[in-house]
Amino acid sequence: MRLSRKEFLSFSGRSILGLSLLNLFNWKVFGREKFGKKLLGEAMIEVKTKRLELTHTWTISRNSSDFKENVFVKIERDGITGIGEAAPNVRYGENPQITTRRIHEAETIFKNMDLFHYVDIKNALDKAILDQSCAKAALDIALMDWIGKAFNMPLYKLWGLNIGHSPKTSFSIGIDTPEVIKQKVLEAEQYPLLKIKVGRENDEEIIAAVRSVTNKPIRVDANEGWKTKEEALEKITWLKTEGVEFIEQPLPSDMIEETAWLREHVDMPIVADEAVKSASDIPKLATAYDGINIKLMKSGGLLEALRMIQMAKALNLKIMMGCMIESSVAITAAAHLAPYIDWADLDGNLLINNDPFSGVKVKGGSFVYNDKPGLGIEGEF
């Protein structure tokens, strides 16, 4: 085909315009990986500790606290910012100082790798951070927030999840005197499901206080507080008559055989919490428990939580997602996976009175998601 000069100029002009538009399209739709690699700047990581104030003194079978110091991470690259959070927990040998150190030690991973290769980054983090799984969680959450923002899409949409499937969250009531328990239950009027902490010497008193003011379904968490299978059997048999849906971690995490025995003797689902941190812990628990409680701080983030969800489903275990005392950053991150789960206990941000961030909201126990890209978090870092 021969073209006149005018036709050739017109054709090549349209081709250049077309290619430019195609590149722009690719840039927008497929991210910057393919066409914009050389434009990527170095990832910058910022770390800050913030003190979260609890509305009520928080007591579980192990300990009490009035505040928590959580570690926040900001990853910035190519004009996009991702935010993550670590909630160090003494039960797992974590504290804010070591967590901060681990995050700084992992900075080079983010500086040297392509953030779109987040599976490779997860593998690198698993090798680099062997304690302080909450430090991994902070980096993983920030990374996935960054990824969602880079694709201009909420994370749940990127993962193909229907938020209409998310269960309602429970609201937790810590161990306290009967008078305070009653007050807390009345303050929690807007939440249709309660999770009651027990495992000290006053279990009967606590449940009686709850039942004196509400008939709502309750879930009970002993936090490894009962020490023999006989004691646990007696407690669960009694709790069955008190309208309890399931019992979480009745016995110490290493008492797997005793828990399997207990499961044969009670008519109530038993959920593992302290006994399970990551996917590799799940197979050995499948005969002792009916479900697992996944927490991002134990798993080391969203990507490992996804592996845990798939493994639990394969083993026919129920899935609960729980939390530590966390701000809206980590709670919102977990809520993005909630369409996968059976039971939600994502209320850490509802127990504090100075949440530095906002994200997913809770109305009548149901999550209210926003449509913002990534996690959809707002607030001053």
Per CB under 5 A, residues contacting Mg ion are 221, 248, 273
Of 111 and 227, the one with the shorter C-beta distance to Mg ion is 227
CB of 89 to Mg ion, least distance (A): 11
Amino acid identity at 20: S
Q: Which of 312, 267, 310 is nearest to 292 (CA)?
A: 312
Of 45 and 292, the one with the shorter C-beta distance to Mg ion is 292
CB of 250 to Mg ion, least distance (A): 11
Distance from C-alpha of 262 to C-alpha of 244, rounded to nearest angstrom: 16
Distance from C-alpha of 244 to C-alpha of 376, rounded to nearest angstrom: 34
Of 106 and 297, the one with the shorter C-beta distance to Mg ion is 297
Using CA atoms, how far residue 121 sits from 126, 140, 197, in Å, is 9, 9, 37
CB of 273 to Mg ion, least distance (A): 4
Of 203 and 273, the one with the shorter C-beta distance to Mg ion is 273
- Strand segments, DSSP code E, in the chain are 44-59, 64-77, 80-86, 171-173, 194-197, 218-221, 244-248, 270-272, 291-294, 318-321, 343-344, 361-363, 366-368
Of 155 and 244, the one with the shorter C-beta distance to Mg ion is 244
Of 154 and 167, the one with the shorter C-beta distance to Mg ion is 167
CB of 354 to Mg ion, least distance (A): 24
Of 221 and 347, the one with the shorter C-beta distance to Mg ion is 221
Distance from C-alpha of 246 to C-alpha of 233, rounded to nearest angstrom: 13
CB of 305 to Mg ion, least distance (A): 16
Locate 185 and state its tokens: 């239950």
CB of 124 to Mg ion, least distance (A): 30
Q: How far apart are the first and last CA of the chain?
A: 61
Contact 184, 172 (CB under 8 A): no
CB of 256 to Mg ion, least distance (A): 17
Reduced to 3 states (helix: H, G, I; strand: E, B; else coil), residue 356 is: coil
